[in-house]
Structure 1
Amino acid sequence: MEETVPRCDAPIVRVSGFVKRYRRHEAVSGVELTVRKGEIYGLIGPDGAGKSSLMKAIAGVLSYESGSVEVFGVTVDSERAAEAVKPHLGFLPQGLGLNLYPELTVEENIDFFARVRLASEERLREDKARLLAMTRLDRFRDRATKHLSGGMKQKLALICTLIHGPELAILDEPTTGVDPVSRRDFWAILAEWLEAKGMTALVSTAYMDEAIRFHRLSFMSKGRMLTAGSPSEIRSLAKGLVVTFESNPQSDAVERLKTRYSQVETLGSSIHVFAPETEAPAALAEIKKTLGELPIEHVHIDDPELEDVVVSLLLRERNDQPDAQAALREGFATGQFDGLAIEARELVRDFGDFRAVDQVSFAVKAGEIFGLLGANGAGKTTVIKMLTGILPPTGGQGWVAGADMRQAGGAIKERIGYMSQAFSLYLDLTVVENIRLFAGIYGLNRKDTNQRMAWIIDMAGLSGYEFDRTGGLPMGVRQRLALGCALVHQPRVLFLDEPTSGVDPIGRRRFWKILSHLVRTEAVAILITTHYMSEAEHCDRLGLMYAGRLVAEGSPAELKRQLVQETGPLLEITTDQPGHALAQLTKRGLSNMTWAGSRIHLLSHDPVQDEARIRTALADCGIAVQGIRTKQPSLEDVFVSRVRALEQAASEAR
């Protein structure tokens, strides 16, 4: 007799005592979880926490050792039970577009998934048009999937997951590797499908600014559920304030602060400290006391974000981790390199009739971090591939570490480290075998290889993984290995293409400690691309690319000032229904708004008048306004505002 899916008011998902083992390793231990109808339930936690294993079991594609998993009231403990619930599910696995067929076009993929999942023709036409418009993939209907950028593939993968109107969507890190504008597209789609279709969603994410959008969430570490609750309940677990300021010499200030505070992070010229005090004067007084005679300037004090709290909870779990910066002092030494380390001059790259890079020029000095930002497909990776000698340019010139990129490909490769989006590792080799291979490629002898091996394992936190096959490593661990392999020959210049995509907050902060040391102490030059706008704050200068062109350049502070001058200050609106509030305000003619977690951001030319309009409009809709304040825009606000303005201009020009 076939399993049937009962319809009742019981929870959509109920997990009890869940245990999953891989050979002798217990990946998930005794997890409890309940997902209610109509909510977005989140899973957050570091790499290897067990999130993906749990989600696969709920989706019916992974067996487990003990406990129970119920979906729509059916106990998913056999292939027959899994098949009974799968028609009502949409499952998006971790990885960019892994559920897609690369040879099919965008539209052919959507149509294929719709027919396999038995979506009605009437629903298909309506939903396909809506989803293509929301993701801005409608112009690419006839493009082969293999020719899409990573972010475009992921947006298409989401469409294919939702096209049959699932009652439960299980989405494993769906926005990893996706630019901020596309991430906001994703959340707009999810919010609309929950409201219009009554869908429920179970979502994992590596972006803590996204986690604030969950109705409820669970925080996992080492296979266990550490805590669960609403985002506000999770944030209340770590009391304190975030103090951001400048102090010089910065390195001296950081060393002093680390003697008292567990969370000390450099962001460009600023220092970011999570202080345990709950009153601003007390927090500032303790920091001044710790700094002694060192100056403190440009102070900003705010409540901690969810990422600060998550890092605090993880640090309690990992109180014995070695200091990556100490390992660097012991094991890394490069010669100084003066002058321009990278120079691009009017670079052009065409692929047939398509111009991927159009007259791009910039320069990076030794001891500087230059960040390339841009939407997926903007041309950032193509620029890196030209400068590293992987792709010949169609036009323009470039120099890297003193060598002409057109004529000195071999010399450039010897002087640079390159970490690509695709990890650039051999997945069938072990960690140790990968390091030895890269050391051999760069001509290191046995003694130097062994020294660098020990340094990389220490620096990247790979102890215990040395003889594991690389393809089976958690994503964050694999990324740290890739960085170690890029540094094995102590290069003068580092090219890093989305190096921390999918890595947990502690892993990212550790990664940036390493980069900061390389730049400030060893005068290494770094060119980096990233979709974490909080990471872009680490860069000395940024270049924003759009449609193959460099459209803005400056320090993070300069780009924020330019935005305020052009569009006015930022109003931050806090309500208990941000998604509904955003929709209502848009209907009433307010534009240039974005949904930022539990808040709405509005760039306003007239803050006083706009605040009055907002309060009146939301009161008319019965939406409570918890607060409206003026604040400095974030780099994500800069990115989204500029890209959307450029997209609007391009649309009007067509």
Structure 2
Amino acid sequence: MSTISSAAPVIADGLRKSYGAVHALDGVSLSLNPGEIYGLIGPDGAGKSSLLKIIAGVLAQDQGELTVFGTRIQNERDADKVKDRIGLMPQGLGQNLYADLSIEENIDYFGGLRLIEKQTLEERKNLLLQATRLDRFRDRPMKNLSGGMKQKLGLVCTLIHEPRLVILDEPTTGVDPVSRREFWSILSRLLKEKQITALVSTAYMDEASRFHRVSLMHSGQVLASGVPSELRHLATGCMLSLNCDDPQQQLRIVNEVQPLFPQLEVLGNEVRIFSDLPAEQAIPELAGLAACSELAPATETEPELEDTFIALLRQKYGASLQNSPTGQSAQIDVADAGHAIEARDLSRHFAEFKAVDSVSFQVPQGEIFGLLGANGAGKSTVIKMLTGILTPSDGAGWVAGADMRTAGMQIRERIGYMSQAFSLYLDLSVTENIRLYGGIYGLSESRIRERMSWILDMAGLRPYANALTAGLPMGLRQRLALGCALIHRPSVLFLDEPTSGVDPLGRRAFWDVLFRLSREEKVTILVTTHYMSEAEHCDHIALMYAGRVVADASPEQLKKNVQSEAGQLLRISGADSAILAQSLQDEGFTSAAVFGPHVHLFVQDVAAAERLIREKYAHSDAIRISPQKLSMEDVFVHIVSRLEKQTQAPAESKTADKPVVTMEPV
């Protein structure tokens, strides 16, 4: 673990904050080193936002000591002494911006608030607009920006007065993976250039690699703090992997293994199991189970930070991962064969704008199908056409055997739809929401009672049956929304970013339900998501870009395709990551990108690349080079970045001697 500098910009000791009977912070302590990016990682309600607001001086702690830039903060007057050295970017896309003002007008407004002299403001504005690639959009109103552009503008407005500490509250929630990587690249570069310290919260566990150090938070407490790579091994036990490509055998493994090893998930062909036992005991125990005996023995693998986080919750707090089984009594009538969903040259135009351009794909019955793409790629528009909400401009589609153009209510009776916008009534109880949806679908009272019992068990909501929906954690709300979408026993389920804002435990439980629905009840599921780790759960993926499907294969096949085209992904450690990344780019490694203290890059010839890097840094014995397994985020960013590059410079792309692989847009 890193040694804390005596000149730490922030030192918090035993901070406590309560809202009535709710303890938002319960004895939180941490210290920041100058110039580092420090991450607060945890679910909604963990206390991250309260901690950030206290450090920013907009909220007072109830107990504990806080020192910011050497000033002990005890009251509002103390906080005012350091506010000019702090920049705060609140949670939510564009929450610190003004919708009707242009990009330039927003920046000028924030510069005026900070009393920045006009010439200095112009110089800083021009530099930041160029760094964020917003320069050519100066006159565009904020309300017309994409999610990624809003976040970049928010960052510019936060940095315009050159603070010494920037505080960013979940800056990438709801932003697509390409924009997320670009945001982190820009932030790392700007912070390095200006020697700024950053304190950042996130619910994305996979963003931990962006930070120099992190604190894992849950229920107002810090579970653990340290360097991300070290935290992965804090939980007692090991991570095991089984390879199984048969869906029904995967289900048998889940049913047989989960009672013994509750922390289990299926990712494509891989069944990942966290065991509280050491590997030498767990592997033989798994091999003795009937469902696993036909497979090659489990192998030990590296846990992800999310695996460790969930294991710590189980081991320290007894947090449960198990859901009640979905049950065979609710078996859904589906066709034995054929495609549950088919899109054939679907198009949708809004005036001159082509939101969807000749999209085609097929989804077999009982498959989990992922529809991925950046903000504005056309995913939600495709779903709205297939569900009959929007009429296509051209093309055709069939859902559950019904033609979407002519079926009308026939489609609605056969599908469940969970939209991006939350679809529950927060002032109704759990059972009242279920009854309401039962009535909407025309179910009889006896049928509603039967389905309500199934939903309460399926979603683990029986203890909360009479609770107001507004008081439920986000994960339970989403499972209630899923239950309401399933109340009429549809054979096809559409989910539009169903787990946005849901904590890791809630997401795991939600996907366990989806896995059982697809495998046990043969429900076909079409899902969109910005969590690339969730894309690993899908049997098949279609990736959309600018209204078109540009990749269509299983997650494993997509990874193989990208590796064949781009080469091996390497992680370089042991030197200043920002300087190292720039130096590698100057040497021709155009894909070099900063990941906290590491640099990631694709190379075609591993031996040649390692030799060149070692020669370049012959003076540094600390340089470490290790191969990395491709993630779905790597796949997504590579494909979309390549397409963006071709769109921006088609002539250059055609004449290039070899493919230029970029991990980030440049």
Alignment deviations for residues 334-374 of structure 1 (CA, whole Å, 9 cap, x no partner)? 22244222211212222333222111111112101111112
Residue 369 in structure 1 maps to residue 368 in structure 2: yes
CA contact (8 A) 1:575 1:581 kept: no
Residue 150 in structure 1 maps to residue 147 in structure 2: yes
The corresponding residue for 2:436 is 437
The corresponding residue for 2:421 is 422
The corresponding residue for 1:162 is 159
Superposed CA RMSD: 3.0
Alignment deviations for residues 578-632 of structure 1 (CA, whole Å, 9 cap, x no partner)? 3432222112221223445654333222222111112222335x47222333x54
In the superposition, the TM-score normalised over structure 1's length comes to 0.89
Residue 90 in structure 1 maps to residue 87 in structure 2: yes
Q: Distance in 1 between matches of 2:56 and 2:549?
A: 43
Partner secondary structure for residue 210 of structure 2? coil
Q: Could you tell me how far 1:642 is from its partner in structure 2?
A: 1.1
Q: Distance in 1 between matches of 2:331 and 2:285?
A: 35
The corresponding residue for 1:274 is 274
The corresponding residue for 1:258 is 258
Residue 360 in structure 1 maps to residue 363 in structure 2: no
Greater shift in the superposed pair: 640-649 or 329-338: 329-338
Q: Distance in 2 between matches of 1:383 and 1:129?
A: 39
The sequence identity of aligned pairs, in percent, is 53
Q: Could you tell me how far 1:131 is from its partner in structure 2?
A: 4.1
Greater shift in the superposed pair: 635-644 or 270-279: 270-279
Residue type of the partner of 1:486? A
Residue 207 in structure 1 maps to residue 215 in structure 2: no
Partner secondary structure for residue 381 of structure 2? helix
Q: Distance in 2 between matches of 1:53 and 1:71?
A: 16
Task: Mark the CA change 1:430 to 1:148 in structure 2 (over 3 Å): closer, same or farther.
Answer: farther
Q: Distance in 2 between matches of 1:295 and 1:555?
A: 24
CA contact (8 A) 1:14 1:33 kept: yes
Alignment map for 1:416-565 (pairs within 5 Å):
416-462=415-461, 470=469, 474-565=473-564
The corresponding residue for 1:62 is 59
Partner secondary structure for residue 571 of structure 1? strand
Segments of structure 1 that go 5 or more residues without pairing to the other structure are: 1-7
Residue type of the partner of 1:385? K
The corresponding residue for 1:5 is none
The corresponding residue for 1:3 is none
Residue 627 in structure 1 maps to residue 625 in structure 2: yes
Q: Could you tell me how far 1:646 is from its partner in structure 2?
A: 0.8
Task: Mark the CA change 1:257 to 1:136 in structure 2 (over 3 Å): closer, same or farther.
Answer: farther
CA contact (8 A) 2:571 2:626 kept: yes
Residue type of the partner of 2:271? I
Residue type of the partner of 1:440? G
CA contact (8 A) 1:592 1:641 kept: no
Q: Distance in 1 between matches of 2:42 and 2:618?
A: 37
Q: Could you tell me how far 1:126 is from its partner in structure 2?
A: 4.5
Q: Distance in 1 between matches of 2:164 and 2:452?
A: 49
Residue type of the partner of 1:287? L
Q: Could you tell me how far 1:386 is from its partner in structure 2?
A: 2.0
Alignment map for 1:178-257 (pairs within 5 Å):
178-247=175-244, 249-257=249-257
CA contact (8 A) 2:171 2:202 kept: yes
The corresponding residue for 1:605 is 604
CA contact (8 A) 1:576 1:623 kept: no
Task: Mark the CA change 1:473 to 1:579 in structure 2 (over 3 Å): closer, same or farther.
Answer: farther
Task: Mark the CA change 1:88 to 1:508 in structure 2 (over 3 Å): closer, same or farther.
Answer: same
Residue type of the partner of 2:272? H
Residue type of the partner of 1:62? L
Greater shift in the superposed pair: 169-178 or 314-323: 314-323
Q: Could you tell me how far 1:9 is from its partner in structure 2?
A: 6.1
Q: Could you tell me how far 1:542 is from its partner in structure 2?
A: 0.7
Residue type of the partner of 1:59? A
Q: Could you tell me how far 1:574 is from its partner in structure 2?
A: 3.7
Task: Mark the CA change 1:411 to 1:266 in structure 2 (over 3 Å): closer, same or farther.
Answer: same
Q: Distance in 2 between matches of 1:501 and 1:534?
A: 13
CA contact (8 A) 2:253 2:292 kept: no
The corresponding residue for 1:41 is 38
Q: Could you tell me how far 1:497 is from its partner in structure 2?
A: 1.6
Greater shift in the superposed pair: 42-51 or 109-118: 109-118
Residue 385 in structure 1 maps to residue 364 in structure 2: no
Task: Mark the CA change 1:239 to 1:355 in structure 2 (over 3 Å): closer, same or farther.
Answer: same
Q: Could you tell me how far 1:152 is from its partner in structure 2?
A: 3.5
Residue type of the partner of 1:336? V
CA contact (8 A) 2:238 2:303 kept: yes
Partner secondary structure for residue 619 of structure 1? coil
Segments of structure 2 that go 5 or more residues without pairing to the other structure are: 652-666
Q: Could you tell me how far 1:132 is from its partner in structure 2?
A: 4.1
The corresponding residue for 2:14 is 17
CA contact (8 A) 2:328 2:521 kept: no
The corresponding residue for 2:48 is 51
CA contact (8 A) 2:441 2:488 kept: yes
The corresponding residue for 1:4 is none
Task: Mark the CA change 1:16 to 1:510 in structure 2 (over 3 Å): closer, same or farther.
Answer: same
Partner secondary structure for residue 199 of structure 2? strand
Alignment deviations for residues 182-223 of structure 1 (CA, whole Å, 9 cap, x no partner)? 111121122123211121111111222211332222222222
Q: Distance in 1 between matches of 2:137 and 2:559?
A: 32
Alignment deviations for residues 460-513 of structure 1 (CA, whole Å, 9 cap, x no partner)? 445666666655655444433333332333322111122122322222111111
Task: Mark the CA change 1:151 to 1:28 in structure 2 (over 3 Å): closer, same or farther.
Answer: same
Alignment deviations for residues 515-568 of structure 1 (CA, whole Å, 9 cap, x no partner)? 001111111111111122221111111111111111111011111121122223
Q: Could you tell me how far 1:78 is from its partner in structure 2?
A: 4.2
Task: Mark the CA change 1:344 to 1:135 in structure 2 (over 3 Å): closer, same or farther.
Answer: farther
Q: How many residues are paired up?
A: 643
